[in-house]
Amino acid sequence: MNTISSQKSGLSAGKPPIGLSNFPELIREGYCYVDKSLLVQSVLDSPAKVLLLPRPRRF
């Protein structure tokens, strides 16, 4: 049976403070950064004629 265990990774939990836009500071303070730039290439390589990019409500 596979189990998932919770381990403290040293990263801060939760959202970063509002207004924090300095990438080195974001990393230095221990916030998690998810790089999704490879998704751009998959969108560009897609043979689809239409692309739907939904956004959250009240964006």
- The domain segmentation of the chain, as residue ranges, is 21-46
Whether pTM > 0.85 for this model: the answer is no
Confirm if 53 and 40 have CB atoms less than 8 A apart: no
Distance of CA 18 to the CA centre of its chain: 16
Confirm if 31 and 16 have CB atoms less than 8 A apart: yes
pLDDT band of residue 45 (cuts 50, 70, 90) is very high
Quick: pLDDT tens for 16-43: 778 888 889 888 888 887 888 888 898 8
Structure tokens at 12: 């801060």
**What is the model's pLDDT at position 13?**
57
38, with CB counted inside 10 A (0-12, 13-18, 19+), is exposed
